[in-house]
Structure 1
Amino acid sequence: MKRRSIVILVLILIAVLLLVLPLADKTSGSERVIIDNTLHEIVHPSCFDQSELTNYIDEVSYSRATEELGYTVEDACSTQYLQEGKESVISKIFN
């Protein structure tokens, strides 16, 4: 009985750590963004109206824009929505 309770306690501890440790990306790689191919810039769709883009725009995934094309986020509005780094799974659920 003691061994079983220790195993259950360890499993609960692992589950809590998986929820609390920063494992998930703040911005999903599959999130759709707008890119300006002339300026090599990434813009979040919510910031489209206030950004000054050229007519050579396209819509791609965030991971393709950053990794494959090498574009960057320049404006302050898009920086709020498209953050780099990791966050915990529990905070990802509640945001």
Structure 2
Amino acid sequence: MKRKDKKIVITLLSVVAILIIGGMFVPISVSAPSDTRTIIDHTTQTYAAPSCFDEAEMTNFLQETTFGHAKSLDYDAESSCSTDFYTQSDVPIFFAMLQLFGLGEQQWSEEDRL
């Protein structure tokens, strides 16, 4: 390998290492997958997590659907319980990317999905 090629390889490896290390410390918020079970109230135009339903103040015009559908309707979370359920805070970027590719653990289990 030529000296110039070695410098390029070392520079690229250094950049990748810095991105990986930085990604382990920079936190972001991650939303639930779009196929996560959700209960929507068409009257109040809100959604609730199934685990928050007993405390939710919802009418009888309900539908069980997905989180993606509720967001596409531009409905709001019924309470902070639902907001907390559908958002995972302070996840390092590196681990969020692993979750995106199905390699990392998420707070939402298969039972939470439709």
User: TM class, shorter-chain normalised?
Assistant: 0.5 to 0.7
Query: Does structure 1 retain, via aligned residues, the 8 Å contact 2:40–2:48?
Result: yes
**Are residues 1:56 and 2:61 paired?**
yes
Q: Per-residue displacement from partner, 1:68-90 (whole Å, max 9, x unpaired)?
A: 21211132321222349985334
Q: How does 1:1-95 map to 2 (within 5 A)?
A: 3=7, 4-21=9-26, 26-30=30-34, 31-66=36-71, 68-83=72-87, 88-90=92-94, 92=96
Q: Under a length normalisation based on structure 2, what TM-score does the superposition of the two structures give?
A: 0.58
Q: Distance in 2 between matches of 1:63 and 1:20?
A: 29
Q: Secondary structure at the match of 2:54?
A: coil
Query: Does structure 1 retain, via aligned residues, the 8 Å contact 2:32–2:88?
Result: no
Between structure 1 and structure 2, the one with the greater Rg is 2
CA offset at residue 41 of structure 1? 0.9
Q: What is the aligned length? A: 93
**Matching residue's letter, 2:32:** S
Q: Per-residue displacement from partner, 1:32-58 (whole Å, max 9, x unpaired)?
A: 211011221110111011112222211
C-alpha RMSD over aligned residues: 3.1
**Matching residue's letter, 1:80:** D
Identity of aligned residues (%): 27
